[in-house]
Amino acid sequence: MSHECQPFETEVNSDDFAPDHHPLPNDAGLVVAEELRGATINKAEDAYIGRRRSEANGPFSSGTMRARACRTYGRVLTVDREARSRLDDAVAGLVTLAIDPSKTGVTSPVETVDAVRDGMSACSRRICDRVGRDYVAIVGIREFDSNGVPHAHLHVVGDGNRVDKSDLHAGVGAHIRSTPGAVDDDHQFDLAVGWDQHPTETAQKKTEQDEEHGPVHPRARYSATGLPHLSELGKMDSHEITQGALEWASGSSSTLFAGVARDVS
């Protein structure tokens, strides 16, 4: 599914979300994320659908969850393009961070997202401390599997004279040490870190935006596609609804920008 920003739909077919599948309270569109701390997945989904429906039928589109997600998607791709251009002998890696919910000490799927967010922060700080923030660009995106279990991908572009694969593994180690539920078994050496010594050669042009602005590394596009709220409401599958609901209900950001990535708007 392509998530290059398309015109926003202004009407949503309510038959796409029949009451027997997603029973909504009358005021579902007014429920705020803070009220859902400790919620079950089903409750979060019901309120999220109501909120997305109210946004789609409203008079404004620029401030909706989907509009903000599209802007973030574009920023992720821009970070990749600019970092590979600005950093000497650019290299790239993809870090995957996971948790075991049975070891987090919390019972709500909504609350487990905080652990992954903390892990993203610990990992990126460790990498920046080792190589210097001016020599690396990091974009972290939290997403969920089909069971509502969160994990994160960090797309890393670095100066090839300062950054190597061991720096990314050091970031994974920081995540394991500091994050409840993060264990060694879920971060095996070759699976936790992917590495590309020549990312500029790997980058691809796949869309009209790429033709205009430049190619994008496949791992950057892969990470960006994991953002919540990208699809129009009537086109979301069950996994996207679960992810969007849990991200919205968590109240914390699903994205992290570190190093020189923070300078790209």
Q: What is the DSSP string of 231-263?
A: S-GGG--HHHHHHHHHHHHH-S-SEEEEEGGGG
Between 65-74, 143-152, 162-171, 233-242, the lowest mean confidence (pLDDT) is in: 143-152
Which is nearest to 82 in space by CA: 253, 223, 200, 201? 200
pLDDT at residue number 30: 43
Bridge partners of 93, per DSSP, are 156, 195
Query: Between 11 and 161, whose confidence is greater?
Result: 161
In this structure, of 30-39, 125-134, 191-200, 229-238, the range with the lowest mean pLDDT score is: 30-39
CA distance 208 to 206: 7
pTM of the model: 0.85
Maximum Cα–Cα distance for the chain, whole Å? 58
Where in the chain are the domains? 65-263
Question: What pLDDT shows up at residue 14?
Answer: 29
In this prediction, residue 127 carries a pLDDT of 98
Question: Among 29-43, 82-96, 135-149, which range has the highest average pLDDT?
Answer: 82-96
Mean pLDDT of the chain: 84
> Is the confidence at residue 81, as pLDDT, over 60?
yes
State the residue for tokens 């994050």: 179
Q: Which residues contact 11 (CB under 8 A, 6 or more apart)?
A: 56, 57
What pLDDT shows up at residue 36? 59
> In sequence order, which residues have a C-beta less than 8 Å from that of residue 18 and are 6 or more positions away?
none
pLDDT at 258 over 90: yes
- Residues 73 and 50: their CA atoms lie apart, in Å, by 24
- Residue 247: its pLDDT value, please? 87
Q: What is the pLDDT of residue 38?
A: 62
Strand arrangement, sheet containing 193-196: 193-196, 91-98, 150-158, 136-144, 255-259
pLDDT in tens, 100-148: 888 877 666 766 788 899 999 999 999 999 999 999 999 999 998 877 7
pLDDT of residue 241: 92
pLDDT value at residue 19:
30
176-204 pLDDT per residue, tens? 999 988 999 999 988 899 999 999 999 99
